[in-house]
A = this chain, B = another copy of it.
Amino acid sequence: MHSIDKLCIIGLGLIGGSIGLAARERRIARKVYGLVRRQSSIEEARRGKVVEVATMDPEEAVQDSDLVIIATPISSMERIATSIKPYLTCGTIVSDVASSKKQVVRKLEKIFHPGIRFVGAHPIAGSERQGMQAARAALFEGAPCILTPTHGTDKDAQKKIVKFWTALGCRVSIRSPREHDRIVAAISHLPHFLSASLVNAAVKALKGEKMVLDYAGSGFRDTTRVAASDAEMWVDIGMDNADEILHAIGVLEEQLAVLEKALKRGNRPAVRSLLSRARTIRRKFNSTPADG
């Protein structure tokens, strides 16, 4: 297909690495470059055939790129954007993969405007594993990807980013940065922080980790799987999307209050209603082997 001549991915972790593998497998770009921070990553990228050229030189990585995807942790994005800007050709399209968007989009638009066409994007894909060794070409197949254009976003650039993520296998949709942040707070950030809080609560309730490790079954393991994820990445997300996460925690606390009241009063119909409602919705997700 090769609709892109040179693609540059900044940061070859789980997401960046998977973009490289998928872009190469699906022949989305004629050349795929990756910008990394360590010599060992250059070697790892070469061994894994993650990109054609991995380099630590920002100029070599981004110059003459048609599309640059920033796939670093959120807390590095501003610095990276500022450092690559001098090497970008006017009109280049830059996108990102940050899990929270309101602040990131505002900051990156400011850095790139005018001249560079920035389009915010967030592929909702991932795993509790991380780093290049966890990257795989199929990561984005069927995954949602939310684009978060603003009134300043170039329409042609937006179309190209829709095409790019669609070609990688995503189901692309458009939301404002604020809508995006509210959505992911509810379906990704809240589950994550809740999962971590559940691990800590179980340990606290049982006065140490021993009994948790001894007795936890598949229910506990599934419910807390995401708590094994990279903490630093989630600290970034928590700081960046704090308002919406706090809103989502508030909604959850209301649900817990309803449950507590029902349990305290021995109100069987109320407990049943809460569980049945959740069950009906949860069962609408397509089953996958991992769900079996």
Contact of A191 among B173, B224, B238, B283 (CB under 8 A): B224
Contact of A205 among B182, B197, B282, B290 (CB under 8 A): B182
A192 contacts partner chain B, Cβ-Cβ < 8 Å: yes
Interface segment, one of A32-40, A85-93, A106-114, A225-233? A225-233
Cβ contacts A to B, 19 pairs, < 8 Å: A124-B215, A143-B217, A144-B214, A144-B217, A183-B206, A187-B215, A191-B202, A191-B220, A194-B194, A195-B278, A197-B256, A199-B277, A201-B252, A222-B225, A223-B226, A224-B282, A235-B275, A242-B264, A246-B260
Quick one: which of A81-123 are within 8 Å of B by CB?
A: none
Q: Which residues of B contact A201 (CB under 8 A)?
A: 186, 190, 248, 251-252, 254-255
A156 contacts partner chain B, Cβ-Cβ < 8 Å: no
CB atoms of B259 and A197 under 8 A apart: yes
Interface segment, one of A18-26, A125-133, A157-165? A125-133
Q: Which residues of A contact B (CB under 8 A)?
A: 124-129, 143-144, 146, 173, 182-188, 190-206, 209, 211-232, 234-235, 238-239, 242, 245-249, 251-256, 259-260, 263-264, 266, 268, 271-272, 274-279, 281-285, 288, 290-292
Q: How far is the CB of A222 from chain B (nearest CB, A)?
A: 5
Q: Which residues of B contact A239 (CB under 8 A)?
A: 263, 266, 268, 271
Q: How far is the CB of A262 from chain B (nearest CB, A)?
A: 8
Q: How far is the CB of A244 from chain B (nearest CB, A)?
A: 9
Q: How far is the CB of A232 from chain B (nearest CB, A)?
A: 7
Q: With A234-B275, A279-B228 in contact, is A256–B263 under 8 Å at CB?
A: no
In addition to A187-B202, A194-B194, A205-B247, 16 A-B residue pairs with Cβ atoms within 8 Å of each other are: A128-B291, A144-B214, A188-B219, A190-B202, A191-B219, A194-B198, A194-B256, A197-B259, A201-B248, A216-B285, A221-B285, A221-B288, A223-B225, A224-B278, A235-B268, A253-B256
Q: How far is the CA of A23 from the CA of B201 in the complex (A)?
A: 37
CB atoms of B204 and A255 under 8 A apart: yes
Q: How far is the CA of A101 from the CA of B291 in the complex (A)?
A: 29
